[in-house]
Chains A and B, each alone.
Chain A
Amino acid sequence: MSVGPAHLGAIRAFDYLAALSLGASAALGAWWLVPDGLPGVLAMILGMLVGTLAAVPVFVLFTWLLGGFEIVMMAMQIGMIAGMGAPMIAGGTVTSVAMAGAGVGLVIQMLLHALDRSLHGEVAT
């Protein structure tokens, strides 16, 4: 069973755009809202929560545009991990934090994409 390559290619490009946006929003949210000077572990836990929440508006937008479990799964991972890492960035700028978050998003989406390629298709019954 297959769907057209143009159909799949457009959706895949959209998924990567969503991943970059989710990562940037989660990282910026956590970087702005988690106070400086917190103990490292506490800052990471708080960043994880704040990052997940900060990614929600972006998640809602991308889900409305071209939703699916692909967006759900990446948003769950990216919001948490980008948010967890962002408070650890010392002396960052808006641009550098957004790029770091987008990088996290990119890596997670590449991993999910690779996992999907290994699982997609017929399962032996």
Chain B
Amino acid sequence: MSSAAGTKDAAVRKWNRAAKALDSKDRGEEVRYGPYKRSLFAKARGKTMLVAAGTGIDFKYLPPGLEVTAIDFSPRMLSFAEKRLDESASPVELVEADVTRLDFADQTFDTVITSCTFCSVPDPVQGLREVRRVLKDDGRLLMFEHVRASNPWLGFMMDVMNPLVRKFGPDINRRTGDNIRAAGFRIVREFNVYLDMVKLFEAVKA
């Protein structure tokens, strides 16, 4: 098995294990961040890919009028998401897929949505390059993500805590803004939700 495949398999196992407890853990975050997600996702148009759908907790924020493909590499997450399909105002198709190796044709989607996704993707820049490939030239990437704080002390603390935190969940010190640019996107809007570590991004192809 290649190193990349091993890393992906380990990540799938980790998120399969986390699936059952995830909603309980995220309950409070939904109260805090739900209004921000709703306003961001309202900008989605047309054929839309929701990356790392998880247990489907974000389906309720999807506006009507979309044709949604929700992907996740964890089959257990998708089994939970299936129970939430009726929470979405738009039809949702669930697909087991790895964002770093998508089977969709080039320029398939008008919008790609992520929600606390690129803190967990083992190779975030490769994942974002795949997102760029399947996004139409006039498409838009909408992201709700947490990133490493720019404050030197808080950033240092996040670096120190990350090896422990990532054993059970996501990385907390990703530089996702830099990763978005490295994958060939131009950030057209950035909004700080909490400090500068919980953010909304809107990006287009550079």
Question: Which residues of A approach B to under 8 Å, CB–CB?
Answer: 1, 3-4, 7, 11, 63-73, 76-77, 112, 115-116, 119-123, 125
Question: Which residues of B approach A to under 8 Å, CB–CB?
Answer: 24-29, 31-33, 35-36, 39, 146, 149, 151, 154, 157, 161, 172, 187-199
In the assembled complex, the CB of A102 is this many whole angstroms from the nearest CB of chain B, namely: 21
Chain A: CB-nearest residue to B188: A125
- CB of A65 within 8 A of CB of B36, answer no
User: What is the CA–CA distance of A3 and B17 in the complex, to the nearest angstrom?
Assistant: 34
- CB of A69 within 8 A of CB of B146, answer yes
- CB of B36 within 8 A of CB of A116, answer no
User: What is the CA–CA distance of A64 and B196 in the complex, to the nearest angstrom?
Assistant: 23
Enumerate chain B residues within 8 angstroms of A76, measured Cβ to Cβ.
157, 161
- CB of A69 within 8 A of CB of B189, answer no
Supposing A112-B195, A116-B195 touch, asked if A67 and B189 sit within 8 A by C-beta, the answer is: no
**Secondary structure class of chain A's binding surface, majority of residues:** helix
- CB of B32 within 8 A of CB of A66, answer yes
Given contacts A69-B197, A122-B190, A123-B191, 5 further A-B contacts (CB under 8 A): A4-B35, A70-B32, A73-B149, A73-B157, A123-B190
- CB of A115 within 8 A of CB of B33, answer no
User: What is the CA–CA distance of A72 and B170 in the complex, to the nearest angstrom?
Assistant: 13
User: What is the CA–CA distance of A64 and B22 in the complex, to the nearest angstrom?
Assistant: 11
Enumerate chain B residues within 8 angstroms of A72, measured Cβ to Cβ.
172
User: What is the CA–CA distance of A43 and B100 in the complex, to the nearest angstrom?
Assistant: 48
User: What is the CA–CA distance of A102 and B43 in the complex, to the nearest angstrom?
Assistant: 43
Enumerate chain A residues within 8 angstroms of B151, measured Cβ to Cβ.
115
Chain A: CB-nearest residue to B24: A64
Enumerate chain A residues within 8 angstroms of B196, measured Cβ to Cβ.
119, 123
Enumerate chain B residues within 8 angstroms of A123, measured Cβ to Cβ.
190-192, 196, 199
Chain B: CB-nearest residue to A115: B195
**In-complex Cβ contact of B194 among A67, A69, A125 (8 A):** A69
- CB of B198 within 8 A of CB of A69, answer yes
In the assembled complex, the CB of A54 is this many whole angstroms from the nearest CB of chain B, namely: 16
User: What is the CA–CA distance of A121 and B36 in the complex, to the nearest angstrom?
Assistant: 11
Supposing A66-B28, A66-B32, A67-B28 touch, asked if A120 and B194 sit within 8 A by C-beta, the answer is: yes
